[in-house]
Chains A and B, each alone.
Chain A
Amino acid sequence: MRTWKGMLTSVLLACGLVLLGCGKESPKPKAEKPQAEKPVAEAKGAKTVTIGYTASKSGPLKTEGERQINGLNLWMEQVNAKGGITLADGSKVTFTDKHYDDESNKDRVQELYTRLINNDKADFLISPYSSGLADASAVIAQQYNKIMITTGAASDSTYSKGYTLIYQAYTPASRYLTGAIDMLAKLAPGAKKIAIIHEKDKFSTDVVNALKTYATNKGYQVVLFEGYDKDTTDFGAFINKIPPGTDAIMGGGHFADTSTLTKQLYEKKVNAKMFAFLVAPPEPKFAELGAACLAVVGPSQWEPGVKYSPESAKAAGMEWFGPTVAEFDEAYKKKYNEDPSYHSAGGYAAGMILQAAIEKAGSIDTDKVKKALDDMKLSSFYGVIQFANGKENHGLQIGHEMVYIQWFKDPQGTFVKQIVWPEAAASAKAFLCPAR
């Protein structure tokens, strides 16, 4: 009797499970409503270009990913509001987008980009945020012969894989700190010795390896070159290793470790003409270090205070494209009610690069747009944009420069950051670190 009941229960349970399984739909990627409005009355011969991308709307990269998309959406809204782009044959193109949430997940990115190209018929692609995700999506774009503008992705390695259709909007990691060397040369021509202390992750190691080579080529002597583990909190051993007479201390890694290093350097009264570190200094939270943040320099892709202008472009003999810094800043604040970050500017720039290339090519044909991108050299609110054409690093950003911020103390005693380099974009004059 007991066996009977047991069997009956098992069968009923199994049936229930099967029914449940049938009822549950397999998860489908959520296509979201296109943000840009389609033109209502399409003129004769008008086309709509679909831009496909995935965005990290969930997962660890959510904040940066969303800002990037905000920038892109602003660009699309503006270009469509002006009636789109007129092509060489007189027809007009406007833009629409198709995007999915990639959950900050690499595997998902590849699946979704394939879908964007094959099912959604995207004409051009924009990369997701972060080097890892952008690298994963670039493979698919190249495979299906689609042009992709990468943004929010600084790694150099994506462009040494032989791709011909991937173009980078960000300054690559290898040039994150090289500007600091140029700045040092200008500010302290007598400086000779540089100490490099860095986090041992891939990004920071790439940055400092390039920095070391650059500094050595410029005649500097790297007197200390040592990496620390991710969770290091005691930098005493590294600081004690800095030889007396070191002119500049550079390196760092991410926010937590770099701010601790900065604080301990200050407490130990380590004197140098320049302190230049990755990632942490551009963050507003860096000011919480108080006096320790004074004079510290850090690289940023873009800042709202940059001084790029049509005049400075003209002086440099370059074409100006798109809005001015003030116009972008104002439009962004109006639409999103927050200050644009460099992620937002990067998103806008990605769309703008595509627009400039299509206008130049007078066509949306992949080969013609590719040619325009290869030849591109322009100045904009985001800075200079130019791509490498060589086989070994095709698509690598070679025009855009990092801007370097430095922490100042204003007369009220509060710490403020100012852009100090390159000089064309500077909002204040850089200074050497005073004696501690």
Chain B
Amino acid sequence: MQQLINSLTDGFLLGFVYGLAAMGLSLIWGVMSVINLAHGPVITVGMLTTYLLFVHLGLNPYLGMVVVAGVGLALGLLIYAIAVHRVISAPHLSSLLATFAVNMIMLGVFNAVFGGDQNNINYSLGSLSIGFLNLTYSRLLAALGAMLFTAFLYLFLFFTRTGKAIRAVANNREAAELMGIPSYRMLALSFGLGSLLAAVAGSLISTIFPFTIFSGGPYELKSFVICVLGGLGNPLGALIGGLALGLMEGVIPIWMPTSWVPVVEFGLFVFVLVVKPSGLLGAK
């Protein structure tokens, strides 16, 4: 029982971070129907930026997150301008290949500059014990950070003029343009926001686990599973999907060896795709 509760809490807290990463992917898909295969390296950029700021400038990794958010936004805008803008109206395969190319370029650059060593942000906060329950502060703060950024996204999309414009473009781009909304600017901004979320998620992950330049990849895959669970294009669904995945990862190893976790996860992925292709929380 103790093990179950400990595992559930660990998984639940991590689930928020998974949800945040998936939300970025989901937002980009929801607004412009682009499957962003450069999502993984953007997560890695978040990790690396936090690491470099911590190691070279001694910046607290949680404060560094503000810088990471800025870097993520700028990177997203750049990727949009260079690789996505021209193919946005082309068939899906074009944008898929364009973002895949960006993925390969970024991985190549990381490899050349940083190499494949494991990096570790040596910043331990200890843990909080409540009875037999033991929570590390890094996980608690990561969950809190993820919640803050989710709230920020929600407020931005629903209560600001620009946010409303993004939603209008997502809903019907032509109609939005007829209303005088500069749709391409909104698309670029959405891509930037999606990357911002990915980079921040990466930054939060780097405070919990050590990472290599390839660590963004598995989180990108998890993001796909989460988006399918929660419904692609539905940010709230992404958060709930993230929590579900986190809980599964916490609980499955209790009954079977951890090697089986991806088998169950991706089995579920296929199952949901077959039974309800729009995702559990997706539109009918």
Contact surface of A with B, Cβ cutoff 8 Å:
226-229, 231-234, 236-238, 240-241, 243-244, 256, 259-260, 263-264, 266-269, 288-290, 292
B136 in contact with A267 (CB, 8 Å): yes
State in angstroms the CA–CA spacing of A244 and B3 once bound together: 9
B136: chain A residues within 8 A (beta carbon): 264, 267-268
Judge whether B134 is part of the interface by a CB distance below 8 angstroms.
Answer: yes
B253 in contact with A268 (CB, 8 Å): no
Judge whether B271 is part of the interface by a CB distance below 8 angstroms.
Answer: no
Provide a sorted-by-A list of 5 A–B residue pairs whose CB atoms are within 8 angstroms.
Answer: A237-B7, A244-B2, A260-B210, A267-B124, A267-B126
A268: chain B residues within 8 A (beta carbon): 127, 134, 136
State in angstroms the CA–CA spacing of A23 and B21 once bound together: 58
Judge whether B258 is part of the interface by a CB distance below 8 angstroms.
Answer: yes
Judge whether B33 is part of the interface by a CB distance below 8 angstroms.
Answer: no
Given A233-B210, A267-B136, A268-B136, the answer on whether A238 and B258 have CB atoms closer than 8 Å is: yes
A260 in contact with B254 (CB, 8 Å): no
State in angstroms the CA–CA spacing of A254 and B118 once bound together: 12
A229: chain B residues within 8 A (beta carbon): 258-259
Shortest CB distance A334–B (Å):
33
B132: chain A residues within 8 A (beta carbon): 244
B124 in contact with A290 (CB, 8 Å): yes
State in angstroms the CA–CA spacing of A228 and B212 once bound together: 17
A241 in contact with B253 (CB, 8 Å): yes
Judge whether B138 is part of the interface by a CB distance below 8 angstroms.
Answer: yes
A269 in contact with B209 (CB, 8 Å): no
A256 in contact with B7 (CB, 8 Å): no
Given A233-B210, A240-B7, A240-B10, the answer on whether A226 and B258 have CB atoms closer than 8 Å is: yes
Contacting residue for B250 out of A231, A237, A264, CB 8 A: A237
State in angstroms the CA–CA spacing of A240 and B2 once bound together: 9
B3 in contact with A240 (CB, 8 Å): yes
Please count how many residues in chain B sit with their CB below 8 Å of the partner chain's CB atoms.
31
Shortest CB distance A217–B (Å):
25
B122 in contact with A234 (CB, 8 Å): no
B127 in contact with A234 (CB, 8 Å): no
State in angstroms the CA–CA spacing of A233 and B127 once bound together: 18
B249: chain A residues within 8 A (beta carbon): 237
Contacting residue for B258 out of A237, A259, A289, CB 8 A: A237
Contact surface of B with A, Cβ cutoff 8 Å:
2-3, 6-7, 10, 14, 118, 120, 122, 124, 126-127, 129, 132, 134, 136, 138, 208-212, 215, 249-250, 253-254, 257-259, 261
Shortest CB distance B52–A (Å):
17
State in angstroms the CA–CA spacing of A263 and B127 once bound together: 12
A267 in contact with B138 (CB, 8 Å): yes
A236 in contact with B10 (CB, 8 Å): yes
Among residues of A, the one whose C-beta sits closest to the C-beta of B252 is A237
B250 in contact with A290 (CB, 8 Å): no
Contacting residue for B124 out of A228, A244, A292, CB 8 A: A292
B134: chain A residues within 8 A (beta carbon): 268-269
State in angstroms the CA–CA spacing of A244 and B138 once bound together: 23
User: Most chain-A Cβ atoms within 10 A of its Cβ — which of B6, B127, B210?
Assistant: B210
A269 in contact with B124 (CB, 8 Å): no
B259: chain A residues within 8 A (beta carbon): 229
Among residues of A, the one whose C-beta sits closest to the C-beta of B258 is A237
B118 in contact with A269 (CB, 8 Å): no
A263 in contact with B258 (CB, 8 Å): no
Among residues of A, the one whose C-beta sits closest to the C-beta of B249 is A237
Given A229-B258, A269-B134, 4 more A-B residue pairs with CB atoms under 8 Å apart are A240-B10, A266-B124, A267-B138, A289-B122
B127: chain A residues within 8 A (beta carbon): 267-269
Among residues of A, the one whose C-beta sits closest to the C-beta of B136 is A267
Interface pairs A-B: 10 shortest CB-CB: A237-B253, A233-B209, A256-B118, A240-B7, A267-B136, A236-B10, A240-B6, A240-B3, A237-B258, A260-B210
B2: chain A residues within 8 A (beta carbon): 244
A243: chain B residues within 8 A (beta carbon): 3
Given A237-B258, A269-B134, the answer on whether A260 and B250 have CB atoms closer than 8 Å is: no
State in angstroms the CA–CA spacing of A229 and B211 once bound together: 15
State in angstroms the CA–CA spacing of A263 and B118 once bound together: 14
Contacting residue for B209 out of A228, A234, A240, CB 8 A: A234
State in angstroms the CA–CA spacing of A260 and B188 once bound together: 39
State in angstroms the CA–CA spacing of A292 and B215 once bound together: 24
Given A256-B210, A267-B136, A269-B134, the answer on whether A241 and B3 have CB atoms closer than 8 Å is: yes
Shortest CB distance B37–A (Å):
21
State in angstroms the CA–CA spacing of A231 and B257 once bound together: 16
Shortest CB distance A284–B (Å):
15
Given A240-B10, A288-B122, the answer on whether A233 and B211 have CB atoms closer than 8 Å is: yes
A289: chain B residues within 8 A (beta carbon): 122
User: Most chain-B Cβ atoms within 10 A of its Cβ — which of A229, A236, A259, A292?
Assistant: A236
Shortest CB distance B232–A (Å):
26
State in angstroms the CA–CA spacing of A289 and B129 once bound together: 21
State in angstroms the CA–CA spacing of A264 and B210 once bound together: 11
Among residues of B, the one whose C-beta sits closest to the C-beta of A264 is B136
Shortest CB distance B256–A (Å):
11
